[in-house]
Amino acid sequence: MKKLVVLFSILALAGMIVGSQLLAQDATPKSGGVLKAAYEAEWTGLDPHLASTVSSFFVLANVVEPLTTYDNDMKLAPMLATEWSQSEDGLTWTFTLREGVKFHNGADMTADEVVWSMNRIINPDTGSGRVASVGGADAVWEKVDTYTVSVTTPEPNAILPQLLAGYPQAVMHPDSVNDEGLIVIPVGTGPFTVQDLEGTTSLKLVKNPDYWQEGLPYLDEVDVTVISEDAPREAALLGGEVDWVARLAPQSVVALEGTQDLVIDTVPALHYQYIGLNTEREPLNDVRVRQAIAYAVDREQICAAAEFGLCTVIEGPTGPSSPWYNDYAPYSRDVEKAKELLAEAGYPNGFEMQLMPTSAFEETVRAAQVVQANLAEAGIQTTILAPEWSEWLELEGGGQYDGYICSWNGLTDGDAYYYLQQRTGEVFNFTGYSNPQFDQLVDDARTVSDFDTRYQLYDEANKMLVDDAPYVYFYNQFFNRAYKPYVKGYVLRADNTNLFTTTWLDQ
């Protein structure tokens, strides 16, 4: 199945994006001013080594920085490291650090802080889910000199620079850590500092005057508040209470197209929406039952209801906008096939299960309602539980669900699609999925740098994953941002990284 379901054309979407960016390029940036921004979900902590939600990284991307990064074109680029090389035996990577970078407390960023940060991630007492992204539990990070570090791993890791290119792998100053070993206010190297933090719903991003990128950021401050419901968030933007919102409801993107005094940016996402099935619970531990669910759902209906058509239907984790795209699609909707599989598994009359979207993201609730109706046709009766975000995270992390509905974000390298969420024992593998053959494929993909070779390994892994069906994939959505026309220089990225570094106000 390779079908694009949209309510207005890709060309129209592209016009919205390009038009706003050209406006930004035609004018000379101005320094100063305060941007009033509204996010859609509460952050769940500002410790980059522990954070796991998009809402947290919407803040952290402006405050902390990793050694490497992906630029706006999704190409690997230097950040706090300027260059890197791998030893002939493939076991050691050496990174040259950028000189002249200061932390928010005024201290110089050196090899000491890099080694401390990587070791903090690796330390099991920290509880970070990003150990594999810094070389693994047995990786040895060492200071070579003031501005050089090395990391040695037991096995060759050909893609470590790609794995390090994420804000969860940020370089932090030890002063960030409080007496309990936690980071509440991160002391990073980013363009903004966190001030006036009020719980999980309000803070200020204040300009870092010592930022290493000369002349940036332009803004003096970003005042961030959380408006979790779509309608009040939209009203705040249209009424001038805020200048910028992290997201409009998809129906509003359609309804407000062409509205004066408003810019809406939209971009196809490197991102997927799905239902994760608890493979450790009966009857979902039977692959035939999971496949029955995959056959029973109507992805076009889900896309239309959840995102008002602003999405691309998929059956695996990758979408057409990704270089890792795989169009393997065995689950064209077939309710009779679903019933046959259920009967084979010993459930000729179906069974009961719970669907768990979250009220924090209304599209997940709309998706659940369609899935509920779809599964009923195959004899599977469902109830819907839609807890608030914090409760949802606890239930998901504790395996207290049958099927959770959510998205997986920030997908740049192929490893991000197949490793952290699907490999046996990985911290974000909440479904309990385990397949040794799959594990071997994704492990092997980390040992080679050649794109074609890695693609073939992920191609095999993708087919195995889709056939095993621990996840039933729905669609790639379109990310959007909306803001007033005087907001310039903001770039909406396909990986959903939220950066205000180049944003400025034409007022």
| Buried residues in 259-283 as b, exposed as e (16+ CB within 10 A) | eeeebbbbbbbbbbbbbbbbbebeb
Residue 45: is its pLDDT beyond 60? yes
Q: Which domain holds residue 242?
A: 4-48+53-61+182-268+480-505
Domain match, 186 and 246 both: yes
**Confidence tier at 52 by pLDDT (50, 70, 90):** confident
Domain match, 76 and 37 both: no
Residue 358: is its pLDDT beyond 70? yes
The pLDDT of residue 32 is 98
* Interstrand relation of 403-408 and 352-356 (parallel, antiparallel or unpaired): parallel
Residue 454: is its pLDDT beyond 80? yes
Residue 279: is its pLDDT beyond 80? yes
Q: How far apart are CA 37 and CA 485, in angstroms?
A: 14
The pLDDT of residue 467 is 99
Residue 449: is its pLDDT beyond 70? yes
Q: Which of 148, 176, 204 is the last residue of a domain?
A: 176
Supply angle C-alpha 384, 427, 125, rounded to 5: 125
Domain match, 398 and 362 both: yes
CATH of the domain at 157: 3.90.76.10
Between 452 and 409, the more confident residue is 452
Amino acid at 119: N
Domain match, 313 and 442 both: yes
Domain match, 105 and 203 both: no
Average pLDDT, the chain: 93
Of 44, 47, 189, 72, the C-alpha closest to 130 is: 47
Residues 6 or more apart whose Cβ sits within 8 Å of residue 373: none
Residue 6: is its pLDDT beyond 60? no
The pLDDT of residue 420 is 86
Q: Which of 176, 198, 228 is the last residue of a domain?
A: 176
Domain match, 22 and 82 both: no
Peptide bond into 217 cis (omega under 30): yes
**Confidence tier at 176 by pLDDT (50, 70, 90):** very high
Q: What is the pLDDT of residues 384-394, one digit of tens each?
A: 999 999 999 99
Asked whether 35 and 222 are in contact (CB, 8 A), the reply is yes
Q: What is the pLDDT of residues 87-96, one digit of tens each?
A: 999 999 999 9
The pLDDT of residue 26 is 55
What dihedral angle (degrees, nearest 10) is formed by the CA atoms of 168, 427, 462, 494? -30
Q: What is the pLDDT of residues 103-132, one digit of tens each?
A: 999 999 999 999 999 999 999 999 999 999
Q: What is the pLDDT of residues 426-435, one digit of tens each?
A: 989 999 999 9
Between 420 and 238, the more confident residue is 238
Domain match, 253 and 397 both: no
Residue 47: is its pLDDT beyond 90? yes
Asked whether 447 and 238 are in contact (CB, 8 A), the reply is no
In this prediction the pTM is 0.86
* Number of domain units in the chain: 3
Residue 233: is its pLDDT beyond 50? yes
Asked whether 477 and 273 are in contact (CB, 8 A), the reply is yes
Angle between helices 436-445 and 451-468 (to 10 degrees): 160
Mean pLDDT of 442-449: 94
Alpha helices for 216-286 (secondary structure H) = 230-238, 250-255
Instruction: Report the percent of the chain where pLDDT is more than 90.
Output: 89
Domain match, 197 and 219 both: yes
CATH of the domain at 31: 3.40.190.10
Mean pLDDT of 190-211: 98
Q: Which of 126, 158, 176 is the last residue of a domain?
A: 176
CATH of the domain at 443: 3.10.105.10
Domain match, 144 and 42 both: no
Q: What is the pLDDT of residues 244-272, one digit of tens each?
A: 999 999 999 999 988 999 999 999 998 89
Domain match, 38 and 74 both: no
Domain match, 285 and 388 both: yes
The pLDDT of residue 18 is 36
Domain match, 320 and 418 both: yes
In the structure encoding, which two tokens stand for residue 394, read together? 């606890």
Q: What is the pLDDT of residues 290-344, one digit of tens each?
A: 999 999 999 999 999 999 999 999 999 999 988 999 999 999 999 999 999 999 9
The pLDDT of residue 387 is 97
